[in-house]
Structure 1
Amino acid sequence: MTFTPLVHWAQRHEEIFLRMELTDAQNIDVQVQDNVLQFRAQGYGAKGLHEYEFSLEFLCPVKPQVRHKSTQRQVNLTVQKERRGWWERLTLQERRPVFLTPDFDRWLDESDAEMEILEKDEKRSRLRTARLKGEGFISLKTAFLFMYNLVQFLGFSWIFVNMTVRLFIFGRDSLYDTFHTMSDMMFFCQILASVEVLNAAFGVVRTALIPTFIQ
């Protein structure tokens, strides 16, 4: 004897959703051939533990690939429409099969579905814009930190090289006027070093503010 599960359906412009009330479903077999969906599985349905099956001939062409997901309480199928559009009914036959019923949890009319598409497109657009802004900020921050560290490196390198050269040329005598000779560059490098505190305060770099300030 053949048993048929209760099937709930809903649609969007590009997809068909089917939900079968079948608990602990096993050995699920789903195929689409010649625009006819054939489903077979074992599980607990309205008639207890049996093998349940059904077939549906769709109103319009669909793609043969079917996505299915089984949970403890039900089996969900997603069928892609061959062409984007809104169907007036699910099956080719005008009379609705007795086991088929609307899925009111997912049911939308055509205007509501169009609004859902617009909302998704708007959300994707906002995410894309935010991502582009974030990438631009990251690029600007990276360039700033690169130039900041480069200038610091060149500044301290200039001080080190000049102190070393003066020491070799003038010996100990260079120690008396080294600070006055390079004081401007030292002040400049110290000012740059103090900017580290501002970088930590404004989140340009991810580091603790207090240790940076003490340093």
Structure 2
Amino acid sequence: MQILTPQVFWAQRHGEIFLRVELSDASDVDISLQGHNTLQFRAQGHGAKGDNQYEFSLEFLEPVKPEIHQKSTQRQVDIRIRKQDERWWERLTLREKKPLFLAPDFDRWLDESDAEMELQAKEKINKISVESRVRKDPYVGLKKGYLFMYNLVQFLGFSWIFVNMTVRLFILGQDSFYDTFHTTADMMYFCQMMAVLEVANPLLGLVKTGFFPAMIQVAGRNVILFVVFGCLDEMQNKAVVFFVFYLWSSIEIFRYPFYMLACIGTDWKLLTWLRYSLWIPLYPLGVVAEAVAVIQSLPIFDETRLFSVPLPSALGHSLSFSYTLQLYLVLMFLGLFINFRHLYKQRQRRYRSRKRKVH
């Protein structure tokens, strides 16, 4: 039996290829993909030369996905293949010269601009369909207003701390290291007490960020501020306070305005880059500064017996709080690993979504 080539018509979209094989009453249809971009077709059916074995091979311009969807009808064989990368091809085959058996499928044919409009129309319809199924939150305006004001207040608070410390550093030099706590502690107390809301916001469904990473950061900072610095007068005059406060405020003066603008749907590219990039060096440095503060406080807690736990006389007088802080040091660096991983994934997701919007 003579082997012949059927007439094949083709069309494309940004993500798909459509092939229509003019072969009626097709049987024993065998369609396979060789490598990443070569389609092999073989079938028995009635074509231009009557009942025969028909076959053809197409080497596509770019790689395609291995899943092939085909449907045989009484008149033809329809084939649909997804492109590996969703973009418009200038032609179907790798070779510039088109095979003689291949022709455009004018029933499906669109040029690139028409296909783009069709894609946008589908996306718009899907978006409207999804939005129609999602129940609108009647309090969304109130929630956004609350989040905007919260982030604004925190931005102003940390900005005051950052500017105050920077000005004093330029005027007093290293002398400003030793009175940082007495000049900025009240504002830092206020900001860190407000930060407790960042743990509550995910639980109330006001933000999509995780509860656990927020709790690690807020609890860790509050231990340093209220316990190590706030309860030990000897720690309040140490230079490490300057570095801890300066690193904290350096991160927050970019983080809070980013979230503040996000509440009103505004994206400032420079601020976005600073928010998702500056933390990479500053966050680990902040944890190291906190660890130094904890280490410097250990002998003070041993000497003052502050927060020590009384023990029975057979076991000794008391259990020093410094042992708790030593355990906290281990947890601090474990928290650094967890939060760093979480923030890095946030950064990757952010820039992947931006790339998709650009393309």
Report the TM-score when normalising by structure 2.
Answer: 0.37
Matching residue of 2:88:
86
Matching residue of 2:30:
29
Q: How many positions carry a matched residue from both structures?
A: 136
Q: Distance in 1 between matches of 2:133 and 2:75?
A: 39
Matching residue of 1:109:
111
Shift of 1:132: 1.5
Q: Distance in 1 between matches of 2:65 and 2:129?
A: 30
1:114-152 per-position Cα deviation (integer Å, ceiling 9, x unaligned):
10111000101111111114x98xxxxxxxxxxxxxxxx
Shift of 1:63: 1.2
Shift of 1:75: 0.3
Shift of 1:99: 0.2
1:49-76 per-position Cα deviation (integer Å, ceiling 9, x unaligned):
1110000000111112211011111000
1:30-55 per-position Cα deviation (integer Å, ceiling 9, x unaligned):
00112210000111101111110000
The answer for unaligned runs of 5 or more in structure 2 is: 138-359
Shift of 1:101: 0.1
Matches within 5 A, 1:156-171: none
Amino acid at match of 1:66: I
The answer to whether structure 1 residue 56 and structure 2 residue 58 are counterparts is yes
Shift of 1:103: 0.3
Q: CA RMSD for the aligned pairs?
A: 1.5
**Higher Rg:** 1
The answer for unaligned runs of 5 or more in structure 1 is: 137-215
Matching residue of 1:123:
125
Matches within 5 A, 1:10-29: 10-29=11-30
Amino acid at match of 1:2: I
Q: Tell me, what secondary structure is at the counterpart of 2:82?
A: strand
Q: Distance in 1 between matches of 2:74 and 2:124?
A: 35
Shift of 1:22: 0.6
Matching residue of 1:47:
49
Normalized per residue, which structure has more strand? 1
Shift of 1:2: 1.9
Matching residue of 1:75:
77
Q: Percent identity?
A: 59
Contact residue 33 and residue 64 of structure 1 kept, 8 A: no
Q: Tell me, what secondary structure is at the counterpart of 2:92?
A: coil
Q: Distance in 1 between matches of 2:61 and 2:3?
A: 24
Q: Distance in 1 between matches of 2:50 and 2:33?
A: 27
Normalized per residue, which structure has more helix? 2
Q: Distance in 1 between matches of 2:130 and 2:84?
A: 28
Q: Distance in 1 between matches of 2:24 and 2:51?
A: 9
Matches within 5 A, 1:135-146: none
Q: Tell me, what secondary structure is at the counterpart of 1:93?
A: coil
Q: Distance in 1 between matches of 2:100 and 2:49?
A: 15
Q: Distance in 1 between matches of 2:127 and 2:38?
A: 37
Q: Distance in 1 between matches of 2:18 and 2:109?
A: 10
Q: Distance in 1 between matches of 2:108 and 2:121?
A: 16
Matching residue of 1:3:
4
1:1-39 per-position Cα deviation (integer Å, ceiling 9, x unaligned):
320110000000011000001101111000011221000
- Structure with more relative contact order (C-alpha pairs < 8 Å, separation 6 or more): 1
Report the TM-score when normalising by structure 1.
Answer: 0.61
